[in-house]
Structure 1
């Protein structure tokens, strides 16, 4: 029997509803903190608009998969410009944390140089799954060390990304924490998502146009660029 597919958008809506109910019934309510891994400004736009009223958001920019270096920094600068101008970001004090850019971390994590068949895979394959994993794990570790209530990633907003794989990784990271006796004090939870749903991807394109955001025409790594696969 095929397992029933999980609707991650509905899972997210349930969590948001619980938080909003808590806000109504708690006198000294404080927004839960969210570490949001982000790959670029366009992908972040709708997610910030959607979640900034609910969570105290910190953007975590860790993407050593992006090639070339100039592309990496261009995406980072576009994200910074957007955060400075977007009302939801400025009014809700959305913060930005930049991690290091070391492409060798990407090659090591994906083993793509040794497993050469991965280099020509289309989007959503094993190369991409490994790329999701190592970036999300880095974000999760940062979130745990800094006592964030939640962590998630903007990756699921793209129709070219595998939301099932992204959410499975997030759940596994949370379970790893739960099963690790040395992490008893860590309370960071994974926030499920499928941000492309409910018109999320369309809204991100509208916001990109409204704010003049530069939209890249490939996912990020040298292989997605080389294979000509588009991931906006």
Structure 2
């Protein structure tokens, strides 16, 4: 039996009778399950791709193109925001050696969600959310705090704190990634996570990350 059939999705609805969702997407693997859940719930949504933290540009382009491919497959509108990398590095100054899930990540989430909320307010969206929270490597409370803070700056806007990991969401995320043969990123995204991941790999006797080579489903 197809395990997708075993893990049924619940019917979702936007908070506070929201009508239109702007979904910040970090990458196709994280967004795939979220997008399919929204589609099956007949929720009107648009993808907003704003991730100036992703480094280097080669990695950024691969992640963005994979997300575009999946959005086009389902006829979902896709907003390709600027690669504002210089501004991101300016904001990260002094935080270069902060750990994952620390203050640098809070800054990064704030930066991305503030621009998402601003676009939403200017373009008729009353709810924002993000695919970031589905990853087990992320602190969901940290993400939600940043999202709620960004949405609070605009009247009549909500940040949807839905737990995308629950009720089989994390398992479906992996199934969809294998089915679609999404690119498998091996670090969070920023230059400092790449640096620290490679340090750990080298200390563990492993090779450094080779960008653009690994895809889900290759082991099948």
TM-score calculated relative to the size of structure 2: 0.78
Which of 10, 13, 16 is the aligned partner of 2:13?
A: 16
Query: Which residue of the partner structure matches residue 152 of structure 1?
Result: 129
Which of 104, 125, 143 is the aligned partner of 1:127?
A: 104
- Output the CA distance in 1 between the equivalents of 2:167 and 2:97: 32
Which of 25, 32, 49 is the aligned partner of 1:45?
A: 32
Query: Which residue of the partner structure matches residue 4 of structure 2?
Result: none
Alignment of 1:107-186 (within 5 A): 107-109=89-91, 112-113=92-93, 115=94, 118-178=95-155
Q: Which runs of 5+ in 1 are unaligned?
A: 1-12, 23-30, 179-186
Query: Which residue of the partner structure matches residue 176 of structure 2?
Result: 207
Is the CA contact (8 Å cut-off) linking 1:155 and 1:161 kept in structure 2? Answer: yes
With over 3 angstroms needed to count, the CA separation of the structure-2 counterparts of 1:213 and 1:55, relative to structure 1, is same
- Output the CA distance in 2 between the equivalents of 1:203 and 1:70: 27
Aligned residues: 190
Provide the secondary structure at the position in 1 that maps to 2:53: coil
Give 1:168 deviation, angstroms: 1.4
- Output the CA distance in 1 between the equivalents of 2:65 and 2:89: 24
Provide the secondary structure at the position in 1 that maps to 2:152: helix
Which of 55, 67, 72 is the aligned partner of 1:79?
A: 67
Give 1:220 deviation, angstroms: 0.6
Is the CA contact (8 Å cut-off) linking 1:147 and 1:188 kept in structure 2? Answer: no
- Output the CA distance in 2 between the equivalents of 1:107 and 1:17: 34
Q: Which runs of 5+ in 2 are unaligned?
A: 1-9, 202-215
Superposition RMSD on alpha carbons, in Å?
2.5
- Output the CA distance in 2 between the equivalents of 1:124 and 1:213: 25
- Output the CA distance in 1 between the equivalents of 2:143 and 2:76: 23
